[in-house]
Each structure stands twice: as C-alpha cells, then as structure tokens.
A and B are shown apart, each in its own frame.
Chain A
Amino acid sequence: MLASRVFSLVGRRSISTSLCLRAHGHAGVVKAEDYSLSGYVDRRDVPLPEVAFVRDLSAQQKALKEKEKASWSALSVDEKVELYRIKFNETYAEMNKGTNEWKTILGGVLFFLGVTGLILIWQKQFMYGAIPHTFSEEWLSAQTKRMLDMRVNPVEGISAQWDFDKNEWKK
C-alpha cells in the first residue's frame, strides 16, 4: 500500500494487482507467489518431496542444519528426529494410518437411505392412485391356475412346485 501511495505522488497511474505493487517496491523483481513454487506433499508413492516441510528455519534449526554438515555420528537421536521433522511432515506410519471416516460415510449413506424410505412411504400413502384390478386376489389365483394349466416352467419353475395328482402345492 505504501508503494502505491508513493507512486500516486509521482504520477497518476492506478495499479491494479498487488503483484505489481510489490514489483515496483522491490526494484523490478517480482516475488514468486506461493502457489507457483514446488509444494510439499505427504504421499506413499512420493518418498522424497520437492521441498522440505519447514521452509523458514528458526535460529536453533539453522544451527542444527550447520551441525548436519559435519559427521552424522556426532548427532544425538533427538537431533536426528528434529532434522527428520524439518524435512518431513509425517512419518510413513502416521501418513498411512487409517481414519474413522468410513463410519461417518456409512452412517450418512444409511441415513439418506432412511430418508428416501420415508419419502417413498409418504408417496404410497398420499400420492399414488389405486393399483390395477389385475392385482386382486381373484384375478391372481385365476392367473396362477391358468399358468399351471399351461404347464409354465415345468422343470424348475412354478409348475414344478405344484402337485398335479393331489391338486395342491408340493410340500
């Protein structure tokens, strides 16, 4: 913002993007935005990400990095762990750990299935008209009798379940 106010004193040019603001503030070099740089990613199949996890090291971490340049047997276990945590966010064990997300998903799915069921009940009760007369008891029994007379599906189907000698369903 200060850069733009200085500029408005010099000339009446309107500056639209913050990028341009910073460009004119730092002697013509545009600072790279975060999204245009390589990122850190925790993935099973990317063992060594493009950048280290911690970008801006504290003084203590900088000292540790200097110590890393010497012999590694001089580092204690805690220092090695600290160096690991600078470079990586999670260990493979932490990264691959399962979550309890499946319970939420299953619960949500069943809940919405239940809601759908309620909607269907409401529809049957209040929306749909009468079913066709061909679903009445008399029609259905006459229909079944005709199917048996025609010997429909005599091997494995309905006529196989009927005892034609005793005139009843097979036990």
Chain B
Amino acid sequence: MRRLLARRMKFHLLGAFLVSVGCATLYKFGVAEPRKRAYAEFYKSYDPMKDFQAMKAAGVLECAPPK
C-alpha cells in the first residue's frame, strides 16, 4: 500500500513512453523507410515518355487516342 500511486504511476509512465517510442520506431523502419526506398528505386529508372506511349497505345487516354 505504501507509495501505491507513486509506484503505479512510475510503472505506467515508463511503460507508456516505451510503448509509444517503440510504435514510432517500428513504423519508421517497417513502413516509412521501405516506402522511401521503393519510391527512390522506381524513379531511378523511370522514363515518362515511354510510359505515356504505352498508356496511349493501350487506349486509356481520352485526349490521346491510339492512332
């Protein structure tokens, strides 16, 4: 009973801090970093004109029909 609130509060404050920091770290290294890498990889070798020609040929562009 002695210092019941203090003990409980210390435990939960520490726990809350660790859990939230842990969640943030997990998200950063599980989601954010891979996504940044994926985008970097994609745009390294991206040719917009080739992509445009492909889309035009497939017929999905209303103002640029395949001729």
Contacts and interface: CB of A to CB of B under 8 A. Distances in A.
Interface of A: 44-45, 47, 146, 149-151, 154-156, 160, 164
Contacts of B4: 44-45
A150 B38 CA distance: 20
Interface residues of B, number: 12
22 contacts: A44-B1, A44-B4, A45-B4, A47-B1, A146-B60, A149-B54, A149-B55, A149-B58, A149-B59, A149-B60, A150-B55, A150-B58, A150-B60, A151-B51, A151-B54, A151-B55, A154-B42, A155-B38, A155-B42, A156-B35, A156-B38, A160-B38
A146 B59 CA distance: 9
Interface in B32-67: 35, 38-39, 42, 51, 54-55, 58-60
Nearest to B43: A155
A158 to B, nearest CB: 14
Contacts of B58: 149-150
A149 B61 CA distance: 10
Contacts of B35: 156
A155 B4 CA distance: 53
A149 B1 CA distance: 69
A3 B20 CA distance: 70
A167 B38 CA distance: 22
Nearest to A145: B58
Nearest to B34: A156
B39 A155 contact: yes
